[in-house]
Amino acid sequence: MPMDKKKVKLRLENISQSYVVNNEVRDAVSNVSIDVYDNEFLVILGPGHCGKSVLLNIIGGLEKPVEGNKYIDGVKFTGSDKRIGMVFQRLALMPWKTVMGNVEFGPRLAGVDKATRRKIAQKYIDLVGLKGFEKAYPHQLSGGMKQRVGIARAYANSPEILLMDEPFGQLDAQTRIVMEEEIQRIWQQEKRTIIFVTNNIEEAVYLGDRIILLSKCPARVKQIYEINLPRPRNTMDPEFLRIRREVSENTDLAL
């Protein structure tokens, strides 16, 4: 896709966040401005505890920034917005609800009638490959399946922008690779603007149309990479490895 045809979906303007810890002001995010294009798979990459999650929480409206503005389609908004959905890092599935109950939760809160929301939920349960598990409770599912439910739940609320906060960070290596392929498939089937946070460089290069590399704390935009490799990407491809090395050498170590 040529650059000039891209439309800015979400714009972050001079976002800063700081907290008072032990009577001391600590900056978590410092003056971050990002343009996210429509239906783009954007990866935000940075070392651990560098403020990546804070940035996502601000976009999602779970935190208020001390400074800065956010815009969807050029219109300023504050707080949470129903056009934005989130897949949480920790498994935030409601243990008292079945897979169906979890996935239809968003439409249900929005007052969608039962038949319609069941249809919506079923569509996304099928999309993430959980057909047949509608009546299972989260404790009966594996880690990868739980995260599939998390993705279906976020999709079912029909958001235009999907935030993913290290969704595969707690999965074992094998499951993680499968889920990276899956999220790519799901996104290609149901295009949304995705902002995906990770600290895993290979995951970032594998998934991202672009990678925004953040510095260590306080988070600043350090570098933006465009990845023009065809999908699905081969992690052993020389070009893949070259980009991976380039990003890797530029990444701050967090200890």
Partner 1 sequence: MSRVKTAAMSSSERKAYYLNRLYMILPVISVLLLLLLWTTASLNSDFPSPVETWNRLIELFERPIKNKTIIGHTLASLTRVFLALAFNWTFGIAFGILIGWNKKCRALFTPLFNAFRAVPPLAWIPLITMWFGIGEFPKALTVIIGSIAAVVVNTQAGLSNVQQIYLDVGTMFNANVRQKLFQIAIPSALDAIFAGVRTSTSAAWMVVLAAEMLGAKSGVGFLITRGMDSMDMPLVLMSMAVIGIVGAMLAVVTQFAERLICPWTRKRSN
**Residues lying near partner 1 in the complex (CB under 8 A):** 60-62, 80-82, 84-86, 88, 90, 92, 94-97, 105-106, 108-110, 137-140, 157
Q: Which amino acid is at 227?
A: I
Comparing CB distances to partner 1, the nearer of 28 and 154 is 154
Least distance to partner 1 from the beta carbon of 163, Å? 8
Q: Which candidate, 102, 216, 211, 78, places its Cα nearest to that of 151?
A: 102
- Measured in whole angstroms, the distance separating CA 31 from the mean position of its chain's CA atoms is 21
Q: Which is nearer to partner 1, 151 or 204 (CB)?
A: 151
Nearer to partner 1, 28 or 211 (CB): 28
Cβ atoms of 225 and 247 closer than 8 Å: yes
Q: What's the CA gap between 104 and 93, in Å, rounded?
A: 12
Smallest distance, partner 1 to C-beta of residue 99, A: 12
- Give whichever of 15 and 93 is closer to partner 1, judged by the CB atom: 93
Residues ≥6 apart with Cβ < 8 Å to 189: 127
CB-wise, 108 or 216, nearer to partner 1?
Answer: 108
- In the bound complex, what is the minimum distance in angstroms from residue 65's beta carbon to partner 1? 16
Q: Report in angstroms how near the CB of residue 234 gets to partner 1 at its nearest.
A: 35
How far apart (Å, rounded) are the C-alpha atoms in residues 1 and 93? Answer: 36
| Residue-by-residue DSSP string for 105-165 | HHHHHTT--HHHHHHHHHHHHHHTT-TT-TT--GGGS-HHHHHHHHHHHHHHT--SEEEEE
Quote the least distance from Cβ 134 to partner 1, whole Å. 15
